[in-house]
Amino acid sequence: MLLTHILYKVPLLSTSGNMNVEVEQLTMDSRKAGPGRLFAAVRGTQTDGHRFIEKAVELGTSVILCEELPENRADDVTYVQVQDSSYALGLIAANFYDHPSKKLKLVGVTGTNGKTSTATLLFRLFRLRGYRVGLLSTVQNQIDETVIPATHTTPDTIALNELLSRMVQHGCSHCFMEVSSHSVVQHRIVGLHFAGGIFTNITHDHLDFHETFDNYIKAKKGFFDQLPASAFALTNLDDKRGLVMLQNTVAQKESYSLQTLGSFKGRIMSESLYGMQMEVDGREVWFKLTGRFNAYNLLAVYGAAILLGEDREEVLTQLSVLPSPPGRFEMVIVSNKPVGIVDYAHTPDALQNVLETIAGLRQGNEQIITVVGCGGNRDAAKRPIMAEIACKYSDRVILTSDNPRHEDPMAILEQMQAGVPPVAFKKTQTLADRRDAIFRAVEIAQPNDVILIAGKGHETYQEIKGVKHDFDDRKVLREAFQQSIAKK
Ligand SMILES: CC(=O)N[C@H]1[C@@H](OP(=O)(O)OP(=O)(O)OC[C@H]2O[C@@H](n3ccc(=O)[nH]c3=O)[C@H](O)[C@@H]2O)O[C@H](CO)[C@@H](O)[C@@H]1O[C@H](C)C(=O)N[C@@H](C)C(=O)N[C@H](CCC(=O)O)C(=O)O
Ligand SMILES: Nc1ncnc2c1ncn2[C@@H]1O[C@H](COP(=O)(O)OP(=O)(O)OP(=O)(O)O)[C@@H](O)[C@H]1O
Ligand SMILES: N[C@H](CCC[C@H](N)C(=O)O)C(=O)O
Ligand SMILES: [Mg+2]
């Protein structure tokens, strides 16, 4: 595509060189630069892409997008100077791929917890309704049946537009995507045309990145601020910040609630570990999902489907057969063994929700045994809080490693231990090896107990010092159950 076409509506500060050059590929990584390519120099958290402009030029790159022009410029290279490279790159990527987001109905889900659950349920519901659908989520990206591994919750702006254009080529009518707060701040979603936005909730997370809770709220709100008037903005009225999100949006304001009157109203009538009965807009429905947090997810999915023009009755019937998304309250059951639950709860709020749900469904004197850890190189403030929550709701707690990444596992565990109240010392144990921790939980459990393995959900690896080792909580738990059967 011609550079001049790619730059349509991009605010430019200056340009130098041939503007009629053809661009065949976009990249923000100098290592992938080369002839026929545009390299966007983006300022990151670790380094500054501007430092690699020379490298990109050496590799024969045709066009450089940057905020500061280098002093020594190559004659055969075109330089485009903009105020903000990542913002400009959003517009450029949308132009380059010919605005795929306008050719399908794109719905974004944002919030601290529930994005994957809500987006995945919407994807499955619309597949069930016979549409061709796309999904961009933490667990995986999908174009109908084709799975494309995900590296981020929200892909970078180039990958995002490329995936959307593949969805359009495949004939997808809808795409449901997670919008992480990082993606809003890093302008990954600039230039996208949304048909709708959903807010789930906001609680403590990612303060390592956003620094203050206010910045974090602003990041989430930034998504609704950029929605067009043709879109719907569906918010959770029961969240303290639900209305703030919609304060400045020009989109059609809609809401859902379990507590007050919203556009979509729900009520839990009864629940068990295996499902729940809800009243949704006056209709009674049994869902395979359980827990108050899932009642919110289901209500958001129902609301979005109706706002997208689907039939109420049909939507509820189809929603009632959907299972939990992978690693979200996923049951691992081996005969005569305790109930195992693998859940991606990796924030204080999520852990509290899951444990409250389990505690609420307890029938008699079953014990709740929780295995939990916290990821390295991520928000450290949540570590003691998560340990405290685990102790509050569980009869036994095993503190273990999540993805230590580049941190010392024991140092993370010490920070978690700081949150264990003295009265809970006796019931708490620390085993840094996650496999050992899961086996230990099975060893101490009685047949009716519930074992919660929290934090990693669908993940199939454990990241230690930059290396991803095979690890799947569900498989390890199943192995532990089987070994305990074999021992008897
Ligand atoms: C903190 C963060 O979000 N980092 C993301 C960000 O990296 P960065 O801006 O820090 O990049 P950097 O390493 O400083 O480099 C700056 C620029 O120089 C370029 N570079 C660098 C080296 C080189 O030799 N040549 C070169 O051109 C890089 O390609 C980059 O464009 O932009 C990169 C490219 O898009 C991402 O891969 C990277 O994600 C890292 C891997 C990450 O872990 N991100 C997490 C925190 C994240 O984004 N998570 C959210 C979900 C959170 C949630 O809701 O749970 C997500 O959306 O996934
Ligand atoms: N609506 C909700 N409110 C609160 N907690 C939830 C909700 N939905 C799910 N959870 C809990 O939070 C965990 C993460 O859920 P999910 O993966 O859907 O969130 P997410 O927003 O996609 O997270 P991430 O930011 O890591 O992408 C689940 O395993 C569950 O314990
Ligand atoms: N998207 C989240 C996932 C955290 C999952 C948890 N298992 C961990 O590794 O901390 C993040 O990157 O912060
Ligand atoms: Mg997610």
Provide ipTM, 2 decimals.
Answer: 0.94
Residue 124, Cβ density class (10 Å: 0-12 exposed, 13-18 middle, ≥19 buried): buried
Residue 182 to residue 160: CA distance in whole angstroms: 14
Residues with CB under 5 A from ligand 4 (ion): 115-116, 138, 153, 178
Angstrom distance (rounded) from CA 407 to CA 388: 21
Q: Ligand 4 centre from 177 Cα, in Å?
A: 9
If one counts every other C-beta atom within 10 angstroms of the C-beta of residue 88, the result is 26
pTM for this model (two decimals): 0.92
Ligand 2 centre to CA of 108 (Å) is 15
CB 92 within 8 A of CB 40: yes
Please tell me the distance between residue 65's alpha carbon and the centre of ligand 1 in angstroms.
18
In the chain the first and final C-alpha atoms are separated, in Å, by: 68
| Residue among 431, 415, 410, 419 at smallest CA distance from 391 | 419
Out of 113, 139, 178, mutate this one to test ligand 2's pocket (max ligand atoms within 8 Å of CB): namely 113
Per 3-state DSSP, the chain is made up of helix, strand and coil in percentages (nearest 5) of 35, 25, 40
Structure token pair of residue 88: 């400009």
E strand intervals along 179-317: 196-199, 232-236, 252-257, 264-272, 275-280, 283-287
pLDDT tens, position by position, 391-434: 999 999 999 999 999 999 999 999 999 999 999 999 999 999 99
- Ligand 1 center–CA 40 separation, angstroms: 14
Q: Are 220 and 185 in contact (CB under 8 A)?
A: no
Ranges of the chain whose pLDDT falls below 70: 204-207, 210, 488
Instruction: Please give the structure tokens belonging to residue 177.
Output: 């995507």
Closest C-alpha to 398, from 347, 367, 434: 434
Among 152, 343, 346, say which to mutate for ligand 3: greatest number of ligand atoms within 8 Å of CB.
346
Cα-to-centroid distance, 231 and ligand 4 (Å): 22
Tens-place pLDDT, residues 304-326: 999 999 999 999 999 999 999 99
DSSP 36: T
Could you tell me the distance, in angstroms and rounded to a whole number, from the CA of residue 115 to the centre of ligand 2?
6
Which residues are annotated as part of the binding site for meso-2,6-diaminopimelate?
378, 402-405, 455, 459
Taking the C-alpha atoms of residue 397 and residue 243, their distance in angstroms, rounded to an integer, is 37
Q: Which amino acid is at 152?
A: H
The one-letter amino acid at 223: F
Confidence (pLDDT) at 486: 83
> Which atom of ligand 2 is nearest the CA belonging to 344?
29
> Burial code of 104-119, b = ≥16 C-beta within 10 A, e = fewer?
bbbbbbbbbbbbbbbb
Nearest residue to 226 via CA among 66, 106, 309, 100: 106
| Residue with CA closest to ligand 1 atom 32 | 44
By alpha-carbon position, which residue is closest to atom 9 of ligand 1? 44
Q: Which atom of ligand 3 is nearest to the CA of 374?
A: 10
Surface-to-core class of residue 211, CB atoms within 10 Å of its CB (0-12 exposed, 13-18 middle, 19+ buried): exposed
> Side-chain half-sphere of 177: how many Cα atoms within 13 Å?
37
In sequence order, what are the residues at sequence separation of 6 or more whose Cβ sits closer than 8 angstroms to the Cβ of residue 30? 39, 49, 52, 53, 55, 56, 59
Q: Do residues 427 and 399 lie in contact, with contact meaning Cβ atoms separated by under 8 Å?
A: no
pLDDT of the residue at 42: 96
Reference 367, options 473, 451, 482, 480; nearest CA is 451
**Residues within a 6 A CB radius of ligand 2:** 111, 113-117, 138, 153, 178, 200-201, 293, 296-297, 328, 343-345, 349-350, 353-354, 457
Residues flanking ligand 1, CB < 6 Å: 28-31, 42, 44-47, 49, 52, 152-154, 156, 180, 182-183
CA 223 to CA 183: how far, in whole Å? Answer: 9
| Ordered structural domains, the chain, with CATH | 3-85 (3.40.1390.10), 100-319 (3.40.1190.10), 330-486 (3.90.190.20)
